[in-house]
Amino acid sequence: MTQQHLPALAVSTVIFALRPDASGSIKLALPLVRRIRAPYEGRWALPGGPLGLNEGLSDAAARTLQSTTGLKPRYLEQLFAFGELNRSPLLQESERVVSIVYWALVGNEEAQQAIESENVAWYFADEVPQLAFDHNLIVEYALWRLRNKVSYSSVAHGFLGEQFTMAQLREVYESILGKELDPGNFRRTVEASGTVVATGERLSGAKHRPPQLYRSNADINLSDNGPLSRPQGEIS
Amino acid sequence: MTQQHLPALAVSTVIFALRPDASGSIKLALPLVRRIRAPYEGRWALPGGPLGLNEGLSDAAARTLQSTTGLKPRYLEQLFAFGELNRSPLLQESERVVSIVYWALVGNEEAQQAIESENVAWYFADEVPQLAFDHNLIVEYALWRLRNKVSYSSVAHGFLGEQFTMAQLREVYESILGKELDPGNFRRTVEASGTVVATGERLSGAKHRPPQLYRSNADINLSDNGPLSRPQGEIS
């Protein structure tokens, strides 16, 4: 059996960060890589590449993140393995690729240090161009997973520093969900969820009634990111 | 680059069905396949095998189900891609395998027709032996996913026929969750969820107050089984 008769295996990563737009409001964004060879030469695509023989799947995803942005993930989770036959009409049958896709969060402070280069660019999630392969479908699914997951986990804390105000947390949710949230309702929902703990400290610098600072509740995991991160025997 | 320097790709399937135990009560069970070659020769393992070049991932999972049990899945969902380096200490580095795992439901009536053979046996979910590779971890995770998913979707209906009584549905839940449920609470929770519709018919054969028959609410999907089953553009 020769190599070209087996599907090849690649790992790609959808990397989410919050970045300011021209008006200064923070928006959900992701880095894309310009393809420098056929098929889809010149098109933007998700960062990724072949899985190394001595590399775990999540290690490959973290390596991709590192080489594309210079950053480490705050949160990393397997999204889905995309391997249907029709996922790239431009590939020969003998070049079939199965992509195991991860999604990741990068903290807001780190995101400001992201390296940029000629063939790497950040796009806002609502302005993603026509991508190579089935990567638009993949981005759409990753967005759905992120938006779904922030509603029942504290994964959104991954964008923030160790301490944050309720307004900062609400801004993160508003950026992810793409809509404004009522401050009072938001505060009540978050406080009732037990996912944050008041630190007793207040934001310095503010003159009148500086807002309270909160931290993520360490008793609650940021979010369940799959079977391999759990202690064996504690799954069920 | 020669073949043995790339990780190989396999597709395996955790197939759930409800089967009667010696006392006649139905229990969650899954078919296992006895390995007939090294590594782990003689051990039981999940059914599966290499992905064919002209075969989609979910097609490979359904083919595995067909060849192992002679049955078609009522429900099929991708579980996880297992590909960490340490998943099989008995494999040489050059034989590394990445397994994309699906889980499936088989209806109770169909499960009675399942083919059996010398190297295929059904095990109750709470009596799974020591399996080859990391397959115990995989079964444990599939069980967690099933138990989690029945709590917020109507995926459990996949075990039943077109019409069913509330007691039959409760028996399915009890088998999956491995515990008894209060009949009154169960009925109220299910009716409030809107996932079942009373057909207006009653179970024939019963003499006194024959129980009502229900069907799955067709307006609600059995369960969301991933990005590829949704109409494009309806993901977010």
ipTM: 0.89
CB A7 to CB B7 under 8 A? no
pLDDT at A4 over 60: no
With cut-offs at 50, 70 and 90, classify the pLDDT of residue B224. Answer: confident
Angstrom CA distances, B190 to B145, B149, B210, stand at 20, 14, 19
Q: Give the residue carrying structure tokens 């054969």.
A: B205
pLDDT at A83 over 80: yes
User: In 3-state terms, what secondary structure has residue A131?
Assistant: strand
pLDDT digit string (tens) for B131-182? Answer: 999 999 999 999 999 999 998 889 999 999 999 999 999 999 999 999 999 9
**CB nearest to A85's CB, from B56, B81, B138:** B56
CB contact at 8 A, A9 and A51: yes
Contacts of A85 in chain B (CB under 8 A): 54-56
Contacts of B137 in chain A (CB under 8 A): 227, 232, 235
CB contact at 8 A, B61 and B102: yes
- Measured CB to CB, residues of chain A less than 8 Å from chain B are 1-3, 5-9, 50-51, 53-58, 78, 80-85, 93-94, 96, 98, 100, 137-138, 140-141, 143-144, 147, 226-228, 232, 235-236
CB B100 to CB A96 under 8 A? no
Most B CBs within 10 A among A1, A28, A79, A85, hence the mutation to make, goes to: A85
Class of domain B155-227: mainly alpha
pLDDT digit string (tens) for A156-199? Answer: 999 999 999 999 999 999 999 999 999 999 999 999 999 999 99
What number does CATH give the domain A3-150?
Answer: 3.90.79.10
pLDDT at A155 over 70: yes
pLDDT at B188 over 90: yes
Of the candidates A191, A181, A185, the one whose C-alpha atom is nearest the C-alpha of residue A212 is A191
Q: Give the residue carrying structure tokens 């508003």.
A: A174
What is the C-alpha separation between B89 and B96, in angstroms, rounded?
A: 10
Residue of A nearest to B100 (CA): A81
- Amino acid identity of A215? R
Stated length of chain B: 236
pLDDT at A114 over 80: yes
With cut-offs at 50, 70 and 90, classify the pLDDT of residue B236. Answer: very low
**CB nearest to A53's CB, from B58, B96, B236:** B96
Its sign, for the CA torsion A2, A5, A6, A9, is positive
pLDDT digit string (tens) for A22-31? Answer: 999 899 999 9
Task: Give per-residue burial for B128-165: e unless 16+ CB within 10 Å, then b.
Answer: beebbbbbebbbbbbbbbbbebbeebbbbbbbbeeebb
pLDDT at residue A113 in the model: 87
Three-state SS sequence of chain B: CCHHHCCEEEEEEEEEEEEECCCCCEEEEEEEEECCCCCCCCCEECCEEECCCCCCHHHHHHHHHHHHHCCCCCEEEEEEEECCCCCCCCCCHHHCEEEEEEEEECCHHHHCCCCCECCEEEEEHHHCCCECCCHHHHHHHHHHHHHHHHCCCCHHHHHCCCCECHHHHHHHHHHHHCCCCCHHHHHHHHHHHCCEEEEEEECCCCCCCCCEEEEECCCCCCCCCCHHHCCCCCCC
CA distance A162 to chain B (A): 30
Helix locations, chain A, DSSP H: 57-69, 108-111, 135-150, 166-177, 183-193
What is the C-alpha separation between B9 and B136, in angstroms, rounded?
A: 19
DSSP state string for A61-77:
HHHHHHHHHS---SEEE
With cut-offs at 50, 70 and 90, classify the pLDDT of residue B206. Answer: low
**CB nearest to A57's CB, from B56, B83, B232:** B83
What is the C-alpha separation between B80 and A229, in angstroms, rounded?
A: 13
**CB nearest to B53's CB, from A5, A54, A78:** A5
Domain ranges for chain A: 3-150, 155-227
pLDDT digit string (tens) for B78-107? Answer: 999 999 888 887 777 778 899 999 999 999
What is the C-alpha separation between A160 and A183, in angstroms, rounded?
A: 18
Average pLDDT, chain A: 89
Q: State percent of chain B over pLDDT 70.
A: 94
Residue of A nearest to B95 (CA): A53
pLDDT digit string (tens) for B29-62? Answer: 999 999 999 899 999 999 999 998 889 999 999 9
User: In 3-state terms, what secondary structure has residue A40?
Assistant: coil
- Amino acid identity of B222? L
With cut-offs at 50, 70 and 90, classify the pLDDT of residue A206. Answer: low
What is the C-alpha separation between A151 and B174, in angstroms, rounded?
A: 28
Q: Which residues contact B156 (CB under 8 A, 6 or more apart)?
A: B150, B169, B172, B173, B176
The two structure tokens encoding residue B134: 């990391």
Q: How many cross-chain Cβ pairs, A to B, lie less than 8 Å apart?
A: 111
User: In 3-state terms, what secondary structure has residue A59?
Assistant: helix
CB contact at 8 A, A106 and A114: yes
What is the C-alpha separation between B194 and B217, in angstroms, rounded?
A: 7
Contacts of B7 in chain A (CB under 8 A): 9, 51, 53
User: What's the burial of A156, exposed, middle or buried (CB within 10 Å: 0-12/13-18/19+)?
Assistant: buried
Residue of B nearest to A231 (CA): B137
pLDDT at B234 over 60: no
CA distance A228 to chain B (A): 9
Average pLDDT, chain B: 89
pLDDT at A5 over 70: no
Neighbours of B209 (CB within 10 A): 7
Most A CBs within 10 A among B130, B223, B228, B229, hence the mutation to make, goes to: B228
Stated length of chain A: 236
pLDDT at B208 over 90: no
pLDDT at A235 over 60: no
Contacts of B84 in chain A (CB under 8 A): 56-58, 228
DSSP state string for A170-216:
HHHHHHHHTS---HHHHHHHHHHHT-EEEEEEE-SS-SSSPPEEEEE
CA distance A212 to chain B (A): 34
CB contact at 8 A, A197 and A164: no
Contacts of B140 in chain A (CB under 8 A): 227, 235-236
The two structure tokens encoding residue A162: 């160790």
What is the C-alpha separation between A224 and A149, in angstroms, rounded?
A: 10
